[in-house]
Structures are given as C-alpha cells and as structure tokens.
A = this chain, B = another copy of it.
Amino acid sequence: MFELIKTDDSSRARLGRLTTAHGVIDTPVFMSVGTQGSVKALDPRELVEMGTQIILGNTYHLNIRPGMEIIRAAGGLHKFINWPKPILTDSGGFQVFSLATIRKIQAHGVEFRSHLDGSLLFLGPKEAMAIQAALGSDIAMVFDDCPPHTSTPRELRAAVERTMRWAGECREQPRAAGQLVFGIVQGSVDPALREHCAKALVAMKFDGYAIGGVSVGEPEPEMMRAVEITEPFLPANQPRYAMGLGTPAQLVELVARGVDMFDCVLPTRVARNGTAFTRKGSISIKAGAYKADFRPIDETCDCYACRNFTRAYLRHLLNVGEILGLRMLSVHNTRMFLKVMEEIRAAIGDGNFAAYRKEFVANYVPTQKVLLARAAAADR
C-alpha cells in the first residue's frame, strides 16, 4: 500500500508512493481542500492540469449538506462531484470541536448543534466511519477529539484518552471497498502524551497516521515541536500526514521532519482576499504597486494565470470584484503549492533536498496576513 522509495541523508525527509483505490499518489503530497465537495473556485479539469493527485472532502459538512441520502444515490462522493482521482475525507472531529456548538460529549461521540441551522446532530466513531464508507473516500480518518490550543493539561489528557478509545471503535467499523483508514495522534506539545497516543494507535494497526492538534492556533515553533515529538513513534513504512498545514516554507520544513502528506485551505482562502504566493512569500495583488505591473504573478510559474494574465489585470479584476480575479489567484496559489511538492520530491530523489530546503526557506518570508489566515481554520 505504501512504498518507501528513498529517505534523505540530511533530514528525515522521505520519498514514497501511496496506492489507493482511485490511483497512486507520489509523496510528499499536498492535498487541496474541497470541504463541501469542491476545491473552492476551481474545477476538476483545472485541478488535474495543475498536477493535483488527491483532494479532501469533509464528513461534517457533506453530512449536513447535501446529506448522505443524495451522495449515496449519486453512487458516492467521487461520482457526485465527478472527481476520478483519490479523495481523503476528514472525519468531522475537528469541525465538531471547532465549528459546532457542543451540547454534550458522550462515551461514543458528540451531541452538537449544526453551525448552520442549530439542528441537533450526533457524530461519533461509528457515525463518522459509516458516513465515510458511504462517501467512498480512498482514505478515511478516525473520529478524534481535537481540543483547542488553549486547553488545560487535564483537558488534553482527556482528549487523548477519548481519541485513543474512539480510534479503536473506528478501527472496527465497516469500510468501503479498498478504503484506507488513518489514525490521528493528539497530545499537543506534551511529549509523553504524544508518545502514548502514537503507540496506542500504532498497536491498532492503521493504514497511516496523522498528526492532529496542529493548525489549531498554536505558534509555529509549537507546531514544529508537535510534529518532532510524534514522528519518531510512527512506523517508517507507513504514510504520515500533518493535518491542516501549512505555508510553503512550513511544508518544506515539515517534509524535513518526516511528514508525507499535507492539506491546507491557505492557497484558495488567501486567493479570495487577493493574496498570491511567490517564492519570496506572499504579495497582495490589490496593492497600488501592481496597478501598471505587466509581469505575471511569478515569471517562473507555469500555471494558467501566470501564462495568461498580468498583475495589473488581476489587480483590476480583484478591485472591481470580478470572479475571474479570485479564480486566477486560486489557480496560481494551488499550482504554487503543488509545484513546491514536485520540487521537493525531485530534490529528495536527486539527493539535493538539503540545498533545496536551505535556499527555499532562506528566500521565503511569510507575511502576517498569511499566518493569520492559517490560524483561522473555520473552513478546513
């Protein structure tokens, strides 16, 4: 299922290949987020053209709208959204704890009110896995308890215990044909908790392991630390997935820490605010500096937007509220993230990852705007 092709000499970076029911994924991989069954502003053709290997869907959102009756009738999520390549579905745990109004955490799940209309819903290991089986995703995630960054040690321990117990319940549920299931390690920045949780999950023998409890508002050093204290306890011959991360430079640094899979709303979210990623950080295309700048966003980029449009035109589109503006920034940003992953894979393969990492991180200066957008995880 997962083939470890090469490990980097200079870091914990790995080159791999993950085989799923809908195709093979080269890792490290960036997964575009299609929370509600659409990667925001992009169509499947654009996604395939820019090298997308796998997209995400979300149990919490899809279960509310359009609801499972419709997706079942369509023949599963791939058919409903017409996406032929792999799909990973998040379990809804993160959303229940971040979006919904929790009414009661119970032994086998959470009773909560929909963030949309306040209706009373219940999601637990059994429900989340049944929904994901019906969605027919290639990779399903266990239903976890993802506490906020500000939790007390006592709350953290409770969340980890619950996460482990629920993971065990998820492990026993029926799956779709060929569906892989990944465990999610919680434990914040507590080394003992992370180790405890990782070991318990590994003993349950999942198909892959995610590092959760990151991208929950924590500062970057804590996020890196959470990964560093978890990764050593994850099996080398299985894929590791850091959930909800990150900026381009963070992706490079997380690959160096042994992570194979990433997802993040950043590329499409900041696009809708007029922010474009470059090798040097991000720029606000709406800025007056670009009003007569007839260069593409990035002269080295091969995306449709950079091959066809200037900064001046994109700025105009964004300023007058034309949808084409945010579409083209979504295209560019998503391609930029995918291109960085392609470069990372090539660098590991060629034995040049140390040099690539050094240069990339030195050139990339993140803006506060992007860091804040990453912290706001509402539409993950």
Q: Which residues of A approach B to under 8 Å, CB–CB?
A: 36-38, 40-45, 61, 65-66, 69-70, 73-74, 80-82, 291-292, 294, 304, 308-310, 312-313, 315-317, 319-320, 322-328
Contacts and interface: CB of A to CB of B under 8 A. Distances in A.
16 contacts: A36-B316, A37-B313, A37-B322, A38-B322, A41-B327, A43-B308, A44-B308, A65-B319, A65-B320, A66-B316, A70-B312, A73-B312, A74-B312, A80-B312, A80-B313, A323-B323
Contact of A320 (B36, B80, B292): B36
A15 to B, nearest CB: 33
A357 to B, nearest CB: 35
Given A74-B310, A291-B70, A323-B323, A45 B316 contact: no
A187 B73 CA distance: 56
A296 to B, nearest CB: 11
Contacts of A291: 66, 70
B41 A324 contact: yes
Contacts of A308: 43-44, 82
A305 to B, nearest CB: 9
Given A38-B324, A80-B313, A326-B323, A294 B74 contact: yes
Contacts of A61: 320
A249 to B, nearest CB: 28
B292 A73 contact: yes
A334 B294 CA distance: 29
A313 B77 CA distance: 10
Given A43-B327, A82-B308, A37 B292 contact: no
Given A36-B320, A41-B323, A291-B66, A82 B313 contact: yes
Contacts of A320: 36, 61, 65
B36 A322 contact: yes
A153 to B, nearest CB: 38
B43 A312 contact: no
A42 to B, nearest CB: 7
